[in-house]
Amino acid sequence: MFTHIAGRYEWFDHLASAGQDYLWRPRALWALDRFRAPGPIRRILDLGCGTGEFQRLAARHYPSAVVVGGDFTAAMLRRARALGKATRQRARLEQVRANAQALPFADGTFDLVLNAFVVRNLSDIDRAFREMRRVLRPGGVLVTLEIGEPVRPLVGSLFHAYFDHVVPWMGRSVRSAGPYRYLPESLRSLPPRAELLARMHRAGFGRTRADPQSMGIVTTFLAEAGEAGPPDRYPRG
């Protein structure tokens, strides 16, 4: 499914989100900078990197870091590699084929692990969170950006009218009906915000936060690698 859409993945996301996804990733990194403890960032993993959009943004945001893009789909990695070669950050970009539930990296390899719109695709979220925790150094931070249920009922009704019906229709118009019909189906299997925070704690993360964006259409989840504790409350604004 992801092989089929690799060539049009980025522009379709920009179109389907009405350009909002240009804002979601930078906001996630700004939230990360407020959340994390001061210190150098040397190695970053963008897990489920797709065509590398978040990877390239992270390389610009952290100009001393090597950013590894990991993805299960070879076609996505080829596209990420090609797009990365056209950037000034190309010497700091790497691509590795990786399974989120069995990462091919040693313990404590990374200062940051990022992922955008990946968690809802995982067959075993808990196992993946444990793997993300394992490859983070102590004090490292996980950033998960994910679509979610809007915090206000009226916004939720409008969101589902668009996301459940218009986006799949747009997918059919570019001969990608299956992948974009899958999008609303994948959202229905995603746990709510509080449960995702609890799962992060169970995976070995300590301090956590969930920051809704665009009235909750997407949420930035932040989790610091450390001793597990009780789930934090998340803002509803």
For β-strands 93-97 and 110-116, DSSP reports them as unpaired
Dihedral of alpha carbons 208, 36, 210, 50, sign: negative
**Tens-level pLDDT at each residue, the chain (237 residues):** 555 454 556 656 666 666 788 899 999 999 999 999 999 999 999 999 999 999 999 999 999 999 999 999 898 899 999 999 999 999 999 999 999 999 999 999 999 999 999 998 898 999 999 999 999 999 999 999 998 877 777 766 776 666 665 656 565 555 554 555 556 566 677 899 999 999 999 999 999 999 999 888 899 999 999 864 444 444 433
Domain boundaries, the chain: 2-150+192-225
CA atoms within 13 A on the CB side of 221: 30
Quickly name the fold that domain 2-150+192-225 has. Answer: Rossmann fold (3.40.50)
Give the whole-angstrom CA distance, residue 136 versus residue 105. 10
Which residue type occupies 166? V
Classify the C-alpha dihedral 47-35-151-19 as positive or negative: negative
d(CA 226, CA 103): 19
The structure's pTM equals: 0.84
Q: How far apart are CA 36 and CA 138, in angstroms?
A: 12
